[in-house]
A and B are shown apart, each in its own frame.
Chain A
């Protein structure tokens, strides 16, 4: 256990305007599960991309199995026995499992590929490590969990001794996560070493042997898991004490604001994405929808906000049938939408902060009078919001794209909440944000509820849905598996529903 397989010394990597890794030292022992813990943007993935040869470091050295590595490339890294499972899978959906395995491998003088031999090797490896996969299935036909297994197999197929997993549980249900952990423990028993990147404290305590904590590109320290606890880790990760729970008074639901009846919506591939879905939300409550990414959440939100055509079913909003009404109509009725991708839908990145502040209302008084925009009014309005929502910036004339993710999200939030919406639709409100910003945004969403808004919260972070929502629905393949009250909810039951079993009634 004590042999050191990997050592990274003084590694530095800069991107324009940002030091992603600053004098990072890391030691990994053979046969351990070593967690790299840190917030988004702490430099965990950057460090691993350097190890895997995707990025060139600006300084420092990497020593693997006693050899210093120069001019690293993925090819070299693979050759040495480093395998990486990226957060966004590096599989080609249109090809079969076996073709994905062979890619870059059978490179000898004989150009003809031998699928049969590769398929046998896949089955053999599968048996050895307990990873069952059909070699001739096309990757797009596999579930996300299966794709992840293929990615792990792909690394093993290439003879990996050190396996890097970048946020592997982000796309899994709690049960699938448990299966993955069992698998990883099995792998270390066979002599593999695993580096596990995450920002989820529960997982860290459960799976790791040792932990290295990164904060803003620097190593805070390396600790043994058995000598630490979640509070300490959170403090090392953020640099201050963190409140890990949210204060919330019981909900006081009022009149019905939104009712969805048998909604059916298709996705871009023209397949049914939302399937006969029904629910309702009342004023003053938060209805959360949990589920693994890609189960129709995006299509549901797009249909409710007028961005996607409803095939059948009804959306009743404030006692009016608004099915397939255009977005502006809904906005003028008082609907607000914090979209899943703030870059794509929430903001115009190249426009200034103050211009972004009036994206919904720019054409109306007081911002526009007789077709002329009143910039002094816009300016004053924007300044007020920046103060109210504590948005940190040097000037409100800079493009909103120059702000940090947390401040960008605050711009979206400010714009939406300032309109006093009667219905607030929020998707992944804290994706990619640091703990401080998450705290702030959670508080504001709860305040909006307390002020009488009906809130629809959709998130793939089960924790987030569990803490914020008053009632929780679980979506799976476009259908609601059931609705539970927050006080009756438990992770295990929700997890089973996320994997497709109906609520036990």
Chain B
């Protein structure tokens, strides 16, 4: 009973929103890249980059806002690398993402030691503080949940309808959705498939970078190795769970955020169980929700497939081995 009563506390819901934010930003990023046909397992690496460079940026400029700018740039850069490998070089996208994730882990851990040495009592950077809504935050329950959050939380929430609008009501979104489904058709109406995929990946990187910084710069204001702890993969799951739509993916991240908030509360209740079991909770929620609530899911038809323009001499041999002969018929 005591456990269930947690669920109606304002603190729990406030924490849920706060903890959902990094996942939400990354999942929106995932929606953009997957819809354009890039099977994006690289969200976690981009988040980690954002977490680290956000912290470093904020520390050196003594400005949390500039920290977020650095985070966005670093996320976009690693996604550009991922894009180069999977769009131009056409390496298997899963392998590429594994590479960029490992790279992000290596770069951030190494740079962290180069800057701070082995002294783990490093400096805290400036972080975001809750927005002051004046008397609004005095409203019972809602005041605490909705009017006591940091700016990045509000940004993330606003981005949900904006992403939805872009995806379904603008020609940018139409191009992104079309490219993930049938890139050749997109090419035949005179749209540059590579450009659409690069732009989507950069958007994805920016959002993941912001999501990473939302882990480091919203209270703890510091960094340690692999601080994102696989949140990017939870975001990937949320994209699938939310059926590749911005709103669906966002609702899915809310579920995972609630799981995390719930485990934090549980730890506070002082059960005689090692805390590591509570840590597992959000990940277990992810697995269970995927098992029970998802049938076989169908994402964008061309996700994970590099687009190979037909008729170019150099590529032909390689292509025909894969059984995808460019049409040299009739």
Contact = CB atoms under 8 A, between A and B. Distances in A.
A113 B328 contact: no
Contacts of A349: 321, 323
Contacts of A40: 329-330
A55 B310 contact: yes
5 contacts: A49-B311, A74-B189, A93-B182, A102-B171, A401-B320
A362 B191 CA distance: 50
Interface stretch (B51-59, B68-76, B82-90, B172-180): B172-180
Contacts of B171: 102-103, 106-107, 111, 113
Given A103-B175, A112-B169, A74 B190 contact: yes
Contacts of A105: 189
Contact of B187 (A16, A44, A54, A93): A54
Interface of B: 166, 169-172, 174-175, 177-178, 181-182, 184-191, 300-301, 310-311, 313, 316-317, 320-321, 323, 325, 327-330
A90 B182 contact: yes
A52 B188 CA distance: 8
Contacts of A43: 330
A104 B190 CA distance: 7
B327 to A, nearest CB: 6
Contacts of A55: 310-311
A99 interface: yes
B330 A199 contact: yes
B321 A350 contact: yes
Contacts of B310: 49, 54-55
A86 to B, nearest CB: 7
Most chain A beta-carbon neighbours within 10 Å: one of B172, B188, B316: B188
Given A49-B310, A92-B182, A92-B186, 19 more contacts: A15-B328, A38-B330, A41-B329, A45-B329, A45-B330, A49-B311, A54-B188, A55-B310, A84-B188, A94-B301, A95-B181, A103-B171, A104-B191, A106-B171, A107-B171, A166-B330, A344-B323, A401-B320, A401-B321
A418 to B, nearest CB: 26
A197 interface: yes
Interface of A: 14-16, 18, 20, 36, 38-46, 49, 52, 54-56, 73-76, 78, 84, 86-87, 89-95, 99, 102-107, 111-113, 158, 166-167, 197, 199, 343-344, 349-350, 401, 432
Contacts of A74: 187-190
A95 B177 CA distance: 9
Most chain A beta-carbon neighbours within 10 Å: one of B175, B185, B186, B323: B185
Contact of A197 (B169, B191, B323, B330): B330
A265 B188 CA distance: 36
Nearest to A158: B189
Contact of A91 (B185, B311, B317, B321): B185
Contacts of A90: 182, 184-185, 188-189
Given A94-B181, A113-B169, A18 B323 contact: no
Contacts of B300: 94
Contacts of A432: 329
B330 A104 contact: no
Contacts of B189: 74, 78, 90, 103-105, 158
Contacts of B178: 92, 95, 99, 103
B172 to A, nearest CB: 6
A343 B190 contact: no
B72 to A, nearest CB: 21
A103 B186 contact: yes
Nearest to A94: B181
Nearest to B175: A103
A111 B172 CA distance: 7
A158 B189 CA distance: 9
Contact of B330 (A16, A42, A52, A76): A42
A141 to B, nearest CB: 15
Contacts of A99: 174, 178
A284 B309 CA distance: 48
Contacts of A42: 330
Contact of A104 (B166, B186, B325): B186
Contacts of B311: 49, 54-56
Contacts of A199: 330
A106 B169 CA distance: 12
A343 B172 CA distance: 38
Contacts of A104: 175, 186, 189-191
Most chain A beta-carbon neighbours within 10 Å: one of B171, B177, B330: B330
Contact of A103 (B170, B174, B323, B325): B174
B188 A45 contact: no
Contacts of A92: 177-178, 181-182, 185-186
Contacts of A39: 330
B321 to A, nearest CB: 7
Contacts of B191: 75, 103-104
Contacts of A94: 177, 181, 300-301
Given A54-B310, A86-B188, A103-B189, A46 B328 contact: yes
B182 to A, nearest CB: 5
Contact of A93 (B166, B181, B184, B329): B181
Contacts of A91: 182, 185
Nearest to B191: A104
Nearest to A350: B321
B203 to A, nearest CB: 14
Contact of B316 (A15, A49, A107): A15
Nearest to A53: B190
A45 B327 contact: yes
A44 B330 contact: yes
Contact of A102 (B174, B301, B316, B320): B174
Nearest to B301: A94
A345 to B, nearest CB: 11
B246 to A, nearest CB: 16
A113 B170 contact: yes
Contacts of B325: 343
A8 B301 CA distance: 37
Contacts of A112: 169-170
Contacts of B313: 14-16
A404 to B, nearest CB: 12
A406 B309 CA distance: 27
The 5 A-B pairs of least Cβ separation, nearest first, read: A75-B190, A55-B311, A104-B189, A44-B330, A90-B185
Nearest to A18: B328
Nearest to B309: A54
